Each structure stands twice: as structure tokens, then as C-alpha cells.
Amino acid sequence: MSQLTETLPLLPLSSAVVLPGMVFTMALESGEATAAAQAASNAGGRLVLVPRIEGRYSRVGVVAEIVELGELPGGPKAMVVHGLGRAEVGIGVPGGDSALWVQVDPVVEEPPTQAVRELAREYRAVLENILLARGARQIAARLGDVSEPSQIADLAGYSPELSLTQKVEVLETVDVEARLRLVLGWARDTLAEETLRQQIRSSVEEGMEKTQREFLLRRQLEAIRKELGELDGDSDEGTPERYRQTVAARHLPEAVRNAVEREIAKLERTSEQNPEQGWIRTWLDTVLELPWGEESEDRLDLVEAARVLDEDHDGLQEVKDRILEHLAVRARRAERGMEPETGRGSGAILALVGPPGVGKTSLGESVARALGRRFVRLALGGVHDEAEIRGHRRTYVGAQPGRLARALGEAGTMNPVIVLDEVDKLGADWRGDPSSALLEVLDPAQNHTFRDHYLEVELDLSKVLFIATANVWDTIPGPLLDRMEVIRLDGYTEDEKLAIARHHLLPRQRERAALSADEVQLTDDALRQVSADYTREAGVRNLERELGRLLRKVATKLTSGERTAPVVVEGSDVGDWLGRPKFFFESADRTAVPGVATGLAVTGTGGDVLFIEATAMEGPEGLTLTGQLGDVMKESAEIALSYVRSHAAQLGIDPARFAGKRFHVHVPAGAVPKDGPSAGVTMTTALVSLLTERSVRPEVGMTGEVTLQGRVLPIGGVKQKALAAHRAGLTHLVLPLRNGPDLEEVPAAVREQMTLTLAETVDDVLGAALQEAVAAAA
């Protein structure tokens, strides 16, 4: 302990740092602060202020004297303290009150050297520059009153840029030279930031002055050149004169020409400082970029058009016929010197509805190529905003025309082929209903006067060939569906898939795998094997994916040297390349026991096979249904059970078998929602099979609605269900009698391979579906 050691009350500071020479006012908000102030008042008015940062006390504090002790205007007690000098905090000692008393050793500073004085002058100069940059000239002038280097260094306590931790570091740096170097480095950084900020501000002001000066000079130059008659060339881009020249050179409709001239006149009256001038220019540019009067010349050669369609797609004959009909009409009008049909009712709007992967979207591009027209695709899946179709009002910032107007600009003609992709997946919310906006677009009686909200001029869409695509038509609003000519694409037969794979998929995937036809060959048997055992779909998307996987494996073997070209893949080799089959014909296994029948259904991905299981158990009489069935399908199950019970004797079933029995009907794949009446005959067959102990023939698939009187009513989706049965390996199809005419839609190749039974009553269905009683008993 030195002779200068003294004992003082300690006041911890958690949100401030007091340096020597600083006068500081603090509120006595805690009992600890009040006790320290009271103890200091009783012991000569001195105390030690020590910062407490992150749970620790600084090793150096400031001995301060209380200048004034009283109350703030708001009422709380406060005191004004003046920092006298640094002191190292020692050990705590007992006191006679609640304050914390500690021993402190005042820090004795060495006389300043010449180097220290130089640092002090430099630091003071940097502080003056910072204050002058901030406009604090009076405070900068007062810095000359501080002469001692130690006091100059401690002026950092007033700096708002320094954090609490930095100020504690200044307090704990006892050596004056080290302290000056520390605060000088921080001050230089602050001055650099202030200088950069001033430069940016000055550059902005200079830029504004330059812009104003350039504006005046340009107006003067324009006036001079106008007098000299030199307003020519590209220099007047965006001027009213240039817009008038463009309008004069274009064949614009009269209404469009009048609207453009009105906007040009408005542009002349609008000052360049007015932001509306930019909006007018944008509108004029947008309108004049549209291909007014520009049309592609249709290829009227039907033979060539048919060749192009057949080259791009196998099958899909109904769509191809419709396109050729369109061309034939245009060709006859041309032969007879008649103008092409335009205006009200002349537009062609087709809707291709079918499962994924059947080529709906790519067919649109093929149609455009066959007609010799430009092609544009609009993806509408997930679109919720009506403005996507009609455009935004010009009053909105960033407004632009709708997708249809932009599509015409992209195509460069007024008669392109526009594919509206995934029209069944349009959304609707508070922003509007895009499907309602499409009502005008897809109505041949209205679309020759379509008005975009942004353009506010009439667009003739009657020359556009619209092709909408959808997976299902259930989600398309009725009024919109009514405006389109619907063509169903129900999927491909196995022979059609083989042709598509041979002519399109295999060459494309071979090219992607960097293989040639001489290096790898797939036999027809191999292609059939891939289609049957590794895919089960209405389209060919997964088939192409599996072919790509097989060819990549071939490329890997050839590159590694494990195989040499040519590689021939036979049907028996497919498993070695693609692994175990993903699908197999399970109808025989599933229907081997009584109570299981094979039904047919239509989903968003095409037709599918549906197994229905029935069982009976002891318990309260009734019916349990599982498999996530919809209300209509549940009602079909109730009707089936009611029919079987009411006609038990006729069906050869002992009525006593229903007593005390609870029946359970289950449709597997419980995670998939199912609904519709077409499973009625399948449920009836499953229940009769269970109660008569006669298994259902494994090759039979059935569909149809059943009534309480046992009549079989017609259903929809016959072609899709027939193709699904064919894919699943079923060879006997039971359909309602009134669906007989629908069989004409089923490809002849499928009909020839299947036995068809047209049922009028449930007895007809059971006669075709159930095995003989002797065979079942065996």
C-alpha cells in the first residue's frame, strides 16, 4: 500500500464511462447509487466511479467529486460529478454504512515528452476537422483551451462514435502516449467516414446541378436545331416527331391510330420534368411494338401439313384431323377468291384434355409448324391475378400489358398459335379470377374486340389459333369450357407407345447420352418390356425417363470398357440394366380368393385399375367402408349391399348368412381419394363373390353404375378405362349396354385383343365375372 492510497465509496457504472475532466450528471435510480452518493457526501464529497461491462469491473476507475446533489425536474434524485483523475481499484474494506468501500491508488502520470505533445496536437487537429465537417464550429474553437496531452486524449469520452467497450479501453490505458495513439487511430477512421459522406453529398448536389444545366442546354439546342431544320436521324428518338414518322409508316387500325395521335399530342404538352412523360413514352413504345397488320401466311398444302404432324407425333388422329379441316376450309376460300374469314365468330379455340405425358403441349408447337405460323406458349398453372390476362391499369406504377398482348409482340404476327398451358390449374382469389378474364379471350364471338387494360385499344384475337391444354375438365369453369372445342387425348396403346419410343424417344435419349445407333440397339421386345414392366401410364413421359436411364447405363459401360459396341438390348436383358420390374400383372393374385373384384376408374393421370375387397364378420349388422371414399361411392356401396340382400334367393345366397354379420368393403390405396358411381357393379360383384364363395375371373375388369333394381347404367371415360385394362393385362371387359357406341373410340388394336361384354343387368355382369361354383369349390 502506497502513501497515496485512500479509501472511497465505489459507484459502479453500467451504461456510461466517466473520464478525468468530464462533468457528468447521473440519476440515483438504485439503492446502490444512493448509498454511494450519501457515503461520499459524508466523507468529503469524493467517490470512485468504476465501469462494469459484461459482468466485470474495470481495473481502473475515476476519482470524482460531487459538484451538486439534488433532484431533477421530474422528481428523481441526481448528482453532478466531476472526474478528477484515474485510480487503480484495490481491495474492498468494511464501511459503516451500506455503500461499497474500496482502497484506490491514484495514477501518477509522467511529464509529457515531445513525441506525446506532437501526438496531442495531431489528435486535436483531427477532432477539429471532424467537428468542422459536422458544422460544430463553436465547439471546434474551444478545443484550443485544452492544452495537456492527457486531457486531450480523454476528450474521447465525449465521442458518440465510440462504444462503451472502447471508452473503457481508453480509461484503462494509463500511459498517455499509448492512449493518444489509440484514440488517434479511431479518430482518423471517423474523419475518413465523414470525408466520404461529404464527397457523396457533394457529388449528388453536383449531379443535380449538372442535370438541370443539361436540361436547359438541351432545350436550347433543340430550339436551335429546329430553326435550322436539322431534327433528323436517330438523335430525336422518343420525340413526338419520331413517333409521328413511325405512325405514318405503319398500317394501324383507325381507332389505334387516333389513340396514338392523342398520346403524342399529350407528350408534346408534357414537360420533361413531369414523370408522366416517361409513362406516355412507354405506352407509345408498347403499342407501336405490336405487330399491327402483320400476319404469317398459312401453309395451305394439306399433304405437307399432314406430313409435318405425323413426323412430330404418332397417333392423336382426332387432333390432326381437326387441324387439317381448318386448313382445308382456308384453302377452299383461297381457291374461290374469298378473303380469309376474320372478325366475329371466326376464331378457332381447341382444348386438348388428357393425362400428363400424352403430348398436349408439344402438339401445339407441331401445329404451328404445320400451319407455318409463329408459336407462343403461355403457362397458366397457378396464375391468380386477372391482370396477367388483361394487363394493369396505366395508373399503377410499373404497369404493363397482359400476357396475351405481350405474346403477340413476341410472335411478331397477329395470327400465331398460342398454347394456353394447364388452363385447368388457374387460381382465383382477392386479386381476381383469371378464368373469367379468359371468357372474352376464348369466345369467337367477342375476341375480335379484346381490350387490354393497359393498352385501352381493341386487339383482334380472332386470327389467333388458341390451343388450351388441361389434365381434367372437372376444374374448368362451365362457361369457359363451353367456349372451347374439347378434344380428348385418352392415352396411347402399347403399340402406339412402341412406335413413339422407336421414332421419337429413343433417338432423343440416344443423342442426350452421346450414343449413336451403331453403338446401341433396343429390340421391339425390349421396348415393350420397358413399357409394360417399368411404366404404367397413359402417356410416355416415364417411358422416356426409363429409356434415358437405360441408355446412360449403356454409355457408362462403354466408357469404362466393360462392354464394346454394338450393345444390343433384348427383352430378357432389360432386368439386368434397369433392375427389378416396378409393375406386374397382379389381377390373378388379388382375385384368387372370393370377395375381390377388379374395377376400372378414371383419374387425373388417365385410366386406372381398382381392386375392391369385401369381407364379413360377426358383429352388429351394418356396413363399414374404408379407402377414403367420396359420398357418391359410399352410396354405391350401400346400394350394392341392399341389392344383394333383397335378391339373395335369386342370387343363390342363403338369407341367413346376413344375420348377425357386419360387412366391410375396402378399396386399397387408402391415401388416394376416390369417388363416383362407376364402381357400383364392382362392389356388387365383390359382395356376391364373397357370399357365394365363387372367385372373380382374374382376366375380367368391370365398370358401371348399379341401381336397386339391378340395372346397369352407363358411365364415362370408356376409352381411358379400356386402355387401363389393356395396360394391366386384362382381356375381358364388362361395360354397360348403353356404353356400346363408345367402344368405337377405343383403338381397334385394343378391341381385337379383348372380350367385350355389354351388360344390361347385374345378372349379366355376374355371369361374365364369376367362376363356376364347382371351380370355386375346387
The grid coordinates of residue 469 equal 391444354
Residue with cell 459401360: 557
Q: β-strands 46-53, 60-71: how paired? A: antiparallel
**Percent of the chain at pLDDT above 90?**
9
Q: Residue 432 gets which letter from DSSP?
A: B
What is the full DSSP assignment across 27-42? E--SHHHHHHHHHHHH
CB within 8 A of 484, min separation 6: which ones?
349, 350, 351, 442, 468
Q: What residues pair up with 696 in beta bridges, in sequence order?
A: 770
Indicate whether 774 pLDDT > 60: no
Instruction: Give the tens place of pLDDT for each residue, 662-695.
Output: 999 998 877 778 888 888 999 999 999 998 988 8
The beta strand positions in 210-340, using DSSP E, are none
Indicate whether 564 pLDDT > 80: yes
User: Region 128-134: what's the mean pLDDT?
Assistant: 81
Instruction: Give the tens place of pLDDT for each residue, 17-58.
Output: 888 888 888 888 788 888 888 888 877 888 888 898 877 888
User: Region 695-714: what's the mean pLDDT?
Assistant: 91
**Percent of the chain at pLDDT above 70?**
93
Alpha-carbon distance of 462 to 450, in angstroms, equals: 9
What is the predicted pLDDT for the residue at 732? 92
Indicate whether 431 pLDDT > 70: no
Residues with a known catalytic role: 678, 721
- Is the omega angle on the peptide bond into residue 291 within 30 degrees of 0, that is, cis? no
> Do 749 and 495 meet the contact criterion of CB atoms below 8 Å apart?
yes
Q: β-strands 732-736, 700-702: how paired? A: parallel
Alpha-carbon distance of 287 to 262, in angstroms, equals: 13
CB within 8 A of 418, min separation 6: which ones?
376, 377, 378, 404, 407, 411, 464, 465, 466, 467
Helical segments of 571-679, H only: 574-578, 587-590, 631-646
What is the predicted pLDDT for the residue at 347? 59
254, 257, 261, 264: CA torsion to nearest 10: 170
Alpha-carbon distance of 583 to 690, in angstroms, equals: 27
What is the predicted pLDDT for the residue at 586? 64
CB within 8 A of 22, min separation 6: which ones?
82, 83, 154, 157, 158
Distances in whole angstroms, Cα of residue 235 to Cα of each of 215, 288, 721: 15, 19, 68
Alpha-carbon distance of 682 to 702, in angstroms, equals: 6
Closest residue by Cα to residue 507 from 520, 492, 494: 520
> Do 388 and 441 meet the contact criterion of CB atoms below 8 Å apart?
no
> Do 481 and 433 meet the contact criterion of CB atoms below 8 Å apart?
no
Long-range contacts of the stretch 264-270 (C-beta < 8 A, 24+): 264/240, 265/240, 267/240, 267/243, 268/240
Instruction: Give the tens place of pLDDT for each residue, 621-631.
Output: 889 999 888 88
Instruction: Give the tens place of pLDDT for each residue, 67-119.
Output: 888 887 777 788 888 888 889 888 888 777 778 888 888 888 888 888 888 88
User: Region 247-266: what's the mean pLDDT?
Assistant: 86
Mean pLDDT is lowest, of 237-246, 571-580, 612-621, for 237-246
Distances in whole angstroms, Cα of residue 371 to Cα of each of 347, 365, 379, 464: 15, 10, 22, 12
> Do 596 and 590 meet the contact criterion of CB atoms below 8 Å apart?
yes
Alpha-carbon distance of 304 to 257, in angstroms, equals: 39
Residue with cell 454504512: 97
Burial of 74 (0-12, 13-18, 19+ CB in 10 A): exposed
What is the predicted pLDDT for the residue at 681? 92
Instruction: Give the tens place of pLDDT for each residue, 459-493.
Output: 888 888 888 888 887 788 888 888 888 888 877 77
Alpha-carbon distance of 679 to 637, in angstroms, equals: 8
The grid coordinates of residue 317 equal 388422329
Alpha-carbon distance of 461 to 349, in angstroms, equals: 11
Distance linking the first and last C-alpha atoms of the chain: 114
Q: Indicate the helix (H) or strand (E) that contains 389.
A: helix 387-390
Place 614 in a pLDDT band, splitting at 50, 70 and 90.
very high
What is the predicted pLDDT for the residue at 56? 82
User: Region 448-467: what's the mean pLDDT?
Assistant: 87
Alpha-carbon distance of 472 to 490, in angstroms, equals: 11
Q: Classify the C-alpha dihedral 484-490-493-496 as positive or negative.
A: positive
What is the predicted pLDDT for the residue at 3? 60
Instruction: Give the tens place of pLDDT for each residue, 302-347.
Output: 888 888 888 887 777 777 888 888 788 878 877 777 665 555 545 5
Indicate whether 445 pLDDT > 60: yes
The whole-chain average pLDDT of the chain stands at 83
Indicate whether 712 pLDDT > 90: yes
Residue with cell 469404362: 560
Q: Residue 391 gets which letter from DSSP?
A: -
What is the predicted pLDDT for the residue at 776? 38
Q: Centre a 10 Å sphere on the Cβ of residue 507 and count the other Cβ atoms it contains.
A: 12
Closest residue by Cα to residue 177 from 99, 268, 113, 257: 113
At 720, give phi and psi (nearest 5°).
-65, -40
